[in-house]
Structure 1
Amino acid sequence: MGRAMDTPLGRLSAVFPRQPKSRKRAMDTKDSAVWRIQEVIPETHDVTSLVIAGPEGATGVRERHPGQFAIIRVKTDDGWGEPHPFTISCETGCDSLRFTIKSAGDFTSTIRELKPGTEIRCDGPFGKFCSDIEDKDNIVMIAGGVGVTPFLSVLRTFRQSQATNRMLLLWSNKTLTDAFARDELEQISQELDLRVIHTLTREEPPEQTDTDRIMYRAGRIDGELIAVHAQLNTAAFYICGPPAMQDAIKEQLARFGVAGEAIQTESFGG
């Protein structure tokens, strides 16, 4: 079940609860590893990937499982900015970290303006979403928009280890151009036991492009679509996207007899 701390506000409340001023001052000035922006990559018109590199010995965030998030603060002329939680979208074990961020507010709308070399304070990893996914033989990942980021971390990690898990990714976007990792997912599907279904809510899918690994459908992800392509009685389900989407999918999965214990969720706007 989704929990309050699975939202960005809940995540911050759990990790950085309200503190007295003296306690907050100590937290703001503590000696933690400082990373630097390595690259800023425009993915779509409103999604940007931020790649940061850390100093030697900053192993905390590197030692993580796919699907976890970190909390970053950007260095400004006035000191360290406010904390912001983002899912790590790169594979585990790499020296740099990648965050794939949708422009949806005052801070996220400035991500593309950040410059390489800018200092970043990075704390983590946090979260339990997908913590057991490597142990599941039959995996169904359901994403709405930028909610695909934890699954990109999973798939990039699995690609690195040549995992043999059976996987299905259903990814809903408004248009095809919003599916920024489409080419990469097709490549991964050729290397792993992965099928990908793209659903488009605001345009018709491209014609004659379906393969046995990559498919396109019009409309939203629903129980009927999942039931056709997933083994409902054996699959472990992971859902990440806007709360309304998650609630609708969980309700429909329940109608098809999927137990709540087989479903994990992570919530944020997508």
Structure 2
Amino acid sequence: MARNQEKAQSMLFRFRESQAADLGIIDASRTRRPKVISEQTNLQSCEKWRGQVLKEVSRKVTKIQDLGLSDYQIRDLNDEINKLMREKHMWEVQIRNLGGPNYTLASKSSGENIPGAGKGYRYYGRARELPGVKELFDAARAKGSGQKPGGGDEKSLEDRDDLRKDVDAAYYGYGPDEEDDTLLAYEAAREADAQARLAASTSTTSAKPPPGWEPLPGDIGDGQGWHLPTVEEVQQELLERRKRRILEQLV
């Protein structure tokens, strides 16, 4: 029996089976579920493959309840169940497109998705008790019931009137004394002063630095200036460094 299983899983056997299917000797679709679901045009075959997927989902959902499984095995099983559920949905869509019954209206799932995380990935059985997942479910349930995760009540921001009790037009900058004549005159004078200083600094190239300014070596005006080497000087310097390195290795 074990020899037959090893033979069935061997690469040569799968290759021979694929060759026989191409030649029309055997019908590989009877033993292998199609991957491209949208290309299936036989309604009865789609019904059969959907039933096979349902059996696999039921078997894995029962297996994920095993107390002897580790966290890694539970995560892998939960991933496989989600993959099978997506495949089941694709078979149901194809069955509906072929004129069959609409299974999507009556299909129910025993898995749960984390509230607020969007639909799609679901957790089945013991996967809801995994570290990190259980805390997310507890926090979502506590938020939905209006309680803190550690106990006590917590109102949402929309229900707390004390936050907006002392908020008036002045909070948003619409106070009656916000733009009086004195403030407007002061702002106009400061703006004119800033524009005059900016015009003076840009009109002359020999502008004096501000008080307390310490020029760096090489700045314009310190008498030294920056010396930019030419390409020949850089090459000569690199050649000298290479010579010194070779001499140090010889010594």
Report the TM range for the smaller structure's normalisation: under 0.3
TM-score, normalised to structure 2, is 0.24
**Greater Cα radius of gyration, structure 1 or 2:** 2
Q: Which protein has the bigger helix share?
A: 2
Higher relative contact order (CA 8 A, sep 6+): 1
Q: Which protein has the bigger strand share?
A: 1
TM-score, normalised to structure 1, is 0.23
